[in-house]
Structure 1
Protein backbone atom coordinates (compact mmCIF):
# COMPACT_ATOMS: atom_id res chain seq x y z
CA UNK A 1 0.00 0.00 0.00
CA UNK A 2 2.79 2.36 0.96
CA UNK A 3 4.57 1.72 -2.36
CA UNK A 4 1.44 2.65 -4.34
CA UNK A 5 1.20 6.00 -2.54
CA UNK A 6 4.85 6.77 -3.30
CA UNK A 7 4.36 5.89 -6.98
CA UNK A 8 1.20 8.04 -7.12
CA UNK A 9 3.00 11.03 -5.58
CA UNK A 10 5.92 10.65 -8.01
CA UNK A 11 3.46 10.45 -10.95
CA UNK A 12 1.67 13.61 -9.80
CA UNK A 13 4.98 15.49 -9.41
CA UNK A 14 6.11 14.40 -12.90
CA UNK A 15 2.76 15.45 -14.38
CA UNK A 16 3.05 18.91 -12.80
CA UNK A 17 6.60 19.27 -14.13
CA UNK A 18 5.43 18.25 -17.62
CA UNK A 19 2.58 20.79 -17.57
CA UNK A 20 4.91 23.59 -16.45
CA UNK A 21 7.41 22.65 -19.17
CA UNK A 22 4.74 22.66 -21.89
CA UNK A 23 3.37 26.03 -20.75
CA UNK A 24 6.90 27.50 -20.78
CA UNK A 25 7.57 26.10 -24.25
CA UNK A 26 4.33 27.51 -25.66
CA UNK A 27 5.04 30.92 -24.11
CA UNK A 28 8.49 31.02 -25.71
CA UNK A 29 7.12 30.09 -29.13
CA UNK A 30 4.35 32.69 -28.88
CA UNK A 31 6.88 35.39 -27.92
CA UNK A 32 9.18 34.54 -30.83
CA UNK A 33 6.28 34.57 -33.32
CA UNK A 34 5.12 37.96 -32.07
CA UNK A 35 8.65 39.33 -32.49
CA UNK A 36 8.79 38.08 -36.09
CA UNK A 37 5.59 39.93 -37.05
CA UNK A 38 6.83 43.39 -37.94
CA UNK A 39 4.11 46.02 -37.67
CA UNK A 40 4.13 49.40 -39.40
CA UNK A 41 2.17 52.48 -38.28
CA UNK A 42 0.01 53.51 -41.26
CA UNK A 43 -2.92 55.84 -41.88
CA UNK A 44 -6.42 54.39 -41.63
CA UNK A 45 -9.71 56.18 -42.33
CA UNK A 46 -11.39 56.79 -38.96
CA UNK A 47 -14.66 57.62 -40.71
CA UNK A 48 -16.05 57.63 -44.24
CA UNK A 49 -14.31 60.31 -46.31
CA UNK A 50 -16.27 61.66 -49.30
CA UNK A 51 -14.51 62.03 -52.65
CA UNK A 52 -12.93 65.44 -53.32
CA UNK A 53 -12.39 66.11 -49.58
CA UNK A 54 -9.17 68.09 -49.14
CA UNK A 55 -6.29 66.63 -47.17
CA UNK A 56 -6.40 69.69 -44.93
CA UNK A 57 -10.05 68.93 -44.08
CA UNK A 58 -9.25 65.26 -43.55
CA UNK A 59 -6.54 66.24 -41.06
CA UNK A 60 -8.62 68.93 -39.33
CA UNK A 61 -11.64 66.63 -38.94
CA UNK A 62 -9.54 63.82 -37.49
CA UNK A 63 -10.73 61.59 -40.32
CA UNK A 64 -7.55 59.51 -40.21
CA UNK A 65 -5.80 57.66 -37.44
CA UNK A 66 -2.56 55.72 -37.29
CA UNK A 67 -2.70 52.01 -36.68
CA UNK A 68 -0.02 49.32 -36.47
CA UNK A 69 -0.60 46.78 -39.24
CA UNK A 70 1.54 43.68 -39.91
CA UNK A 71 3.74 44.33 -42.94
CA UNK A 72 2.25 41.44 -44.91
CA UNK A 73 -1.22 43.03 -44.77
CA UNK A 74 -0.22 46.50 -45.99
CA UNK A 75 -1.86 47.84 -49.14
CA UNK A 76 0.52 48.89 -51.90
CA UNK A 77 1.42 52.57 -51.55
CA UNK A 78 -0.04 52.91 -48.04
CA UNK A 79 0.82 56.23 -46.39
CA UNK A 80 2.35 56.84 -42.99
CA UNK A 81 1.86 60.62 -43.14
CA UNK A 82 -0.14 63.19 -45.11
CA UNK A 83 2.56 65.87 -44.90
CA UNK A 84 3.59 65.47 -48.56
CA UNK A 85 -0.05 65.55 -49.71
CA UNK A 86 -1.14 69.02 -48.56
CA UNK A 87 -3.20 70.56 -51.35
CA UNK A 88 -4.43 67.16 -52.54
CA UNK A 89 -8.00 65.84 -52.35
CA UNK A 90 -9.53 62.38 -52.05
CA UNK A 91 -9.81 61.03 -55.60
CA UNK A 92 -12.53 58.59 -54.55
CA UNK A 93 -14.65 58.07 -51.45
CA UNK A 94 -12.62 56.31 -48.74
CA UNK A 95 -14.50 53.96 -46.43
CA UNK A 96 -13.99 53.82 -42.68
CA UNK A 97 -11.24 51.34 -41.84
CA UNK A 98 -9.52 51.52 -45.24
CA UNK A 99 -5.80 52.09 -45.46
CA UNK A 100 -4.99 55.48 -47.00
CA UNK A 101 -2.90 54.97 -50.12
CA UNK A 102 -1.24 57.43 -52.49
CA UNK A 103 -3.60 56.36 -55.29
CA UNK A 104 -6.61 57.59 -53.29
CA UNK A 105 -5.29 61.16 -53.25
CA UNK A 106 -4.97 63.45 -56.24
CA UNK A 107 -4.27 67.09 -57.08
CA UNK A 108 -7.54 69.01 -57.52
CA UNK A 109 -6.65 70.04 -61.09
CA UNK A 110 -6.31 66.36 -62.05
CA UNK A 111 -9.71 65.36 -60.70
CA UNK A 112 -11.34 65.01 -64.13
CA UNK A 113 -8.50 62.78 -65.31
CA UNK A 114 -8.94 60.38 -62.41
CA UNK A 115 -12.10 58.95 -63.89
CA UNK A 116 -10.89 58.44 -67.46
Structure 2
Protein backbone atom coordinates (compact mmCIF):
# COMPACT_ATOMS: atom_id res chain seq x y z
CA UNK A 1 0.00 0.00 0.00
CA UNK A 2 1.21 3.49 -0.68
CA UNK A 3 0.54 6.90 0.79
CA UNK A 4 0.46 10.30 -0.82
CA UNK A 5 3.62 12.34 -0.36
CA UNK A 6 1.83 14.74 1.96
CA UNK A 7 0.64 11.90 4.19
CA UNK A 8 4.07 10.28 4.18
CA UNK A 9 5.80 13.52 5.18
CA UNK A 10 3.37 14.18 8.03
CA UNK A 11 4.00 10.80 9.62
CA UNK A 12 5.55 12.05 12.81
CA UNK A 13 4.52 9.14 14.99
CA UNK A 14 5.30 5.49 15.00
CA UNK A 15 4.87 2.65 12.60
CA UNK A 16 1.61 1.83 14.42
CA UNK A 17 0.03 5.02 13.03
CA UNK A 18 1.12 4.07 9.53
CA UNK A 19 -0.30 0.56 9.96
CA UNK A 20 -3.57 1.96 11.30
CA UNK A 21 -3.93 4.25 8.26
CA UNK A 22 -2.99 1.39 5.95
CA UNK A 23 -5.61 -0.84 7.56
CA UNK A 24 -8.21 1.91 7.22
CA UNK A 25 -7.37 2.32 3.52
CA UNK A 26 -7.53 -1.44 3.04
CA UNK A 27 -10.92 -1.58 4.74
CA UNK A 28 -12.21 1.22 2.48
CA UNK A 29 -10.93 -0.56 -0.63
CA UNK A 30 -12.54 -3.82 0.51
CA UNK A 31 -15.82 -2.01 1.12
CA UNK A 32 -15.61 -0.43 -2.36
CA UNK A 33 -14.98 -3.84 -3.95
CA UNK A 34 -17.96 -5.26 -2.06
CA UNK A 35 -20.21 -2.41 -3.28
CA UNK A 36 -19.06 -2.98 -6.85
CA UNK A 37 -19.76 -6.72 -6.53
CA UNK A 38 -23.24 -6.02 -5.19
CA UNK A 39 -23.92 -3.65 -8.09
CA UNK A 40 -22.82 -6.32 -10.58
CA UNK A 41 -25.05 -8.90 -8.91
CA UNK A 42 -27.99 -6.47 -8.88
CA UNK A 43 -27.45 -5.81 -12.58
CA UNK A 44 -27.44 -9.53 -13.32
CA UNK A 45 -30.62 -10.00 -11.26
CA UNK A 46 -32.36 -7.10 -13.05
CA UNK A 47 -31.39 -8.64 -16.40
CA UNK A 48 -33.28 -11.83 -15.46
CA UNK A 49 -36.55 -9.97 -14.83
CA UNK A 50 -39.28 -9.57 -17.42
CA UNK A 51 -42.51 -7.61 -17.59
CA UNK A 52 -45.75 -9.43 -16.72
CA UNK A 53 -47.92 -9.57 -19.86
CA UNK A 54 -50.99 -8.72 -17.79
CA UNK A 55 -50.00 -5.94 -15.38
CA UNK A 56 -46.59 -4.90 -16.73
CA UNK A 57 -44.86 -5.35 -13.36
CA UNK A 58 -41.43 -6.96 -13.00
CA UNK A 59 -41.49 -10.75 -12.66
CA UNK A 60 -38.70 -12.40 -10.67
CA UNK A 61 -38.02 -15.95 -11.90
CA UNK A 62 -36.57 -16.89 -8.51
CA UNK A 63 -39.73 -15.95 -6.61
CA UNK A 64 -42.08 -18.73 -5.52
CA UNK A 65 -45.58 -17.72 -4.47
CA UNK A 66 -47.25 -19.03 -1.33
CA UNK A 67 -49.28 -21.50 -3.40
CA UNK A 68 -46.08 -22.88 -4.97
CA UNK A 69 -46.41 -21.04 -8.30
CA UNK A 70 -43.04 -20.23 -9.83
CA UNK A 71 -43.22 -18.10 -12.98
CA UNK A 72 -41.94 -19.45 -16.26
CA UNK A 73 -39.96 -17.22 -18.62
CA UNK A 74 -42.35 -14.68 -20.14
CA UNK A 75 -45.23 -15.81 -17.93
CA UNK A 76 -47.54 -13.99 -15.56
CA UNK A 77 -46.45 -12.59 -12.20
CA UNK A 78 -47.71 -14.53 -9.12
CA UNK A 79 -50.47 -11.98 -8.42
CA UNK A 80 -51.86 -12.09 -11.96
CA UNK A 81 -51.51 -15.89 -12.10
CA UNK A 82 -53.49 -16.22 -8.85
CA UNK A 83 -56.19 -13.91 -10.26
CA UNK A 84 -56.27 -15.93 -13.51
CA UNK A 85 -56.65 -19.19 -11.57
CA UNK A 86 -59.45 -17.73 -9.43
CA UNK A 87 -61.30 -16.48 -12.52
CA UNK A 88 -60.86 -19.86 -14.20
CA UNK A 89 -62.20 -21.65 -11.10
CA UNK A 90 -65.20 -19.28 -11.01
CA UNK A 91 -65.84 -19.86 -14.72
CA UNK A 92 -65.75 -23.64 -14.29
CA UNK A 93 -68.02 -23.44 -11.25
CA UNK A 94 -70.46 -21.23 -13.18
CA UNK A 95 -70.45 -23.68 -16.09
CA UNK A 96 -71.17 -26.55 -13.75
CA UNK A 97 -74.01 -24.65 -12.10
CA UNK A 98 -75.55 -23.57 -15.36
CA UNK A 99 -75.06 -27.02 -16.81
CA UNK A 100 -76.89 -28.67 -13.90
CA UNK A 101 -79.63 -26.04 -13.88
CA UNK A 102 -80.00 -26.34 -17.65
CA UNK A 103 -80.35 -30.13 -17.42
CA UNK A 104 -82.90 -29.85 -14.62
CA UNK A 105 -84.88 -27.30 -16.60
CA UNK A 106 -84.74 -29.52 -19.64
CA UNK A 107 -86.02 -32.49 -17.63
CA UNK A 108 -88.85 -30.48 -16.09
CA UNK A 109 -89.85 -29.14 -19.52
CA UNK A 110 -89.97 -32.71 -20.87
CA UNK A 111 -92.47 -33.73 -18.13
Per the normalisation by structure 1, the TM-score is 0.44
**Going by fraction, where is helix more abundant, 1 or 2?**
2
Per the normalisation by structure 2, the TM-score is 0.46
**Going by fraction, where is strand more abundant, 1 or 2?**
1
Structure whose alpha-carbon radius of gyration is higher = 2
Which of the pair has the greater relative contact order for Cα pairs under 8 Å at 6+ separation?
1
